[in-house]
Amino acid sequence: MNPIAGTDIALLAVLGALLALDQDAGLGLQLSQPLVAGALAGLLLGRFEAGVAGGALIQMIWIVTQPVGGARIPDLALGGVCAVAALPSGATLGTWLQNDELAVAGVLGVLAAFGGGALLRLQRRIQSRLASRATKGALRGETGAVAALQRDAIVLHLLRGGASTALVAVLAPVAAAWALELGLRLPVGGAGLGLASVALLRATPRLRLPWLLLGALLGVVLGVA
Amino acid sequence: MERPPLAVFWRTCMLDASWHPERMQGGGYLYALLPALARAEDPAAATRHHTVTFGTNIYVAPAVIGAVAQLELQGERGAATRVRDWLAAPLSGAADLFYWGALRPALMASALVGVVFGSPALAVAAAWLLFNITATWGRWRCFRRGVAASARLLQERERVRPPRSWIVPLHRIVLIAAVALPVLAIVRARFAAASLLDMGLALGVGYYAARRQVSPGIAFLVLVALGVLMQRLELPTGWNR
């Protein structure tokens, strides 16, 4: 497993900073969906197919999420980028569902996503403190305090996203090499697809047989084609 | 009649930045309104009045914020408060169902079908573009209609609510993709035992996890642990290759 070069880590950190804004600051362009984030990370690292494979696995695990109110959503963008960093540079989409190196990438991606979620909750606790000062200012009619709160929060998002992405870009290849040496090799593509199917079926209120049959037919036709 | 400056709309695109448990999007809401409140009769009083807890879906928030900004410019603070307090929650419920419950899963599931089929670049780009065309157009449309309707927005909320007629077709796409994904993978893998066995196990663990509201990430880690255990015990599964 080759470590990622310093310039690539810097590029990934910039990407991670932007993904944090997209995911947690309300930009909402969905660049931070693991499939898209993985593809972008793959493009930056010059291994698009590995990027899509890693991102697709994390996307399959968390394909339906509801970021409403204070819901504890993991950092899916960080999970996607971590999975890409953990995959070997030669990984291709040809047989990726059967690739037994995907398990390590998936496990590290899931752990990074949980870790990133915890970091976001920590940031929001910091923002609570900043906001109490800004609220006092706003109640005195000072608009500068509100603008400062927003500016500080955006800087915190950029720093958190950039730093956490750089950290996983450094650690993921090392951890993946270590886990593969220990023998963690499983073709988990089917497991990801199974989880995605359950989540998607539960996301729809009524299971209509004709549409399920149409899906099965589409799967067979595309699979044979 | 004076209209809210365009900066109000752009600032709604960072609504969640200062999210925190006490006032949720309250900081982002007030920050978005500032360019309009600066032109109100008494900016300090207006700022105090809108220092509140606020929470809604980011894609329909421009409707509420646009209407509130317009009403503040007209000096109708009472109507602005009613729009803010009465509209944010119902619009949020409808938009969450549409964007998070239907549009995003349908497009991401379609993209995954494309990836498994072997057209990753096209699939990812098409899904991302379709979502953003819908969401960005929806945000801008909400802002324009919010400003135009102002106090009437309470009666005309249907005009800014995401299209409910889209939800059923989107759910059909989700259903089709939910079945097409594993079938496509199995057919392409020439019915490999590995696919069938770990997918079958994942369906069982995933269903149980979903019923118990366990995180899918935890379910995945459990599946990997089960796979490792089966390998160690040399059980006859697809994972023992």
How many CB pairs below 8 A link A and B? 331
- For residues B200 and A44, the model is more confident at A44
A27 vs B13: CB contact, 8 Å cut-off?
yes
pLDDT in tens, B34-78: 999 999 888 999 999 999 999 999 999 999 999 999 999 999 999
Sequence-distant (6+) residues with CB within 8 A of B114 are B120, B122, B123, B124, B126, B127
- State how far the Cα of B13 lies from the Cα of A154, in Å rounded to an integer: 12
- Chain A positions touching B118 (Cβ under 8 A) are 93
Helices A48-61, B216-232: crossing angle, 10 deg rounding? 110
State the residue for tokens 């209609």. B145
Neighbour count for residue B228 (Cβ, 10 Å): 17
Nearest to A79 by CA among B217, B43, B66: B217
Give how far A13 is from chain B: nearest CA, Å: 19
pLDDT given for residue B231 in this prediction: 84
pLDDT in tens, B14-32: 999 999 999 999 999 999 9
Q: Are A51 and A90 in contact (CB under 8 A)?
A: no
Sequence-distant (6+) residues with CB within 8 A of A148 are A134
Instruction: Return mean pLDDT, chain A.
Output: 93
Q: How confident is the model at residue B191 (pLDDT cuts 50, 70, 90)?
A: low
- For residues B128 and B194, the model is more confident at B128
Taking CA–CA distances from A202, the nearest residue in chain B reads: B210
- Mean pLDDT across B201-208: 91
- State how far the Cα of A54 lies from the Cα of B92, in Å rounded to an integer: 32
Q: Count the residues in chain A.
A: 225
CA B27 to chain centre: 20
Nearest to A115 by CA among A89, A88, A78: A78
Q: How confident is the model at residue B2 (pLDDT cuts 50, 70, 90)?
A: confident
pLDDT at A1 exceeding the cut of 60: no
Nearest CB among A128, A154, A207 relative to B21 is that of A128
Nearest CB among B21, B189, B223 relative to A98 is that of B189
- State how far the Cα of B68 lies from the Cα of B40, in Å rounded to an integer: 12
CA A180 to chain centre: 22
pLDDT at A90 exceeding the cut of 80: no
pLDDT given for residue B87 in this prediction: 94
Write out the H or E segment, with its range, that includes residue B211. Answer: helix B193-211
- Mean pLDDT across A87-98: 80
B20 vs A128: CB contact, 8 Å cut-off?
yes
Instruction: Return mean pLDDT, chain B.
Output: 91
pLDDT in tens, B104-114: 999 999 999 99
B206 vs A198: CB contact, 8 Å cut-off?
yes
DSSP result, B214-231:
--HHHHHHHHHHHHHHHH
pLDDT at B193 exceeding the cut of 70: no
Nearest CB among B55, B116, B199 relative to A194 is that of B199
Nearest CB among A36, A128, A200 relative to B177 is that of A200
Taking CA–CA distances from B210, the nearest residue in chain A reads: A199
- Mean pLDDT across A89-93: 78
- State how far the Cα of A8 lies from the Cα of A101, in Å rounded to an integer: 22
Identify residue A98 by its one-letter amino acid code: Q
- State how far the Cα of B143 lies from the Cα of B6, in Å rounded to an integer: 10
pLDDT at B241 exceeding the cut of 60: no
Which B-chain residues 138-167 have CB contacts (< 8 A) with chain A? none
Which B-chain residues 6-35 have CB contacts (< 8 A) with chain A? 12-28, 30-31, 34
- CA dihedral angle for residue A54, residue A57, residue A62, residue A63, rounded to 10 degrees: 110
pLDDT at B167 exceeding the cut of 80: yes
Identify residue B8 by its one-letter amino acid code: V
Give chain A's count of helices (H) and strands (E): 8, 0
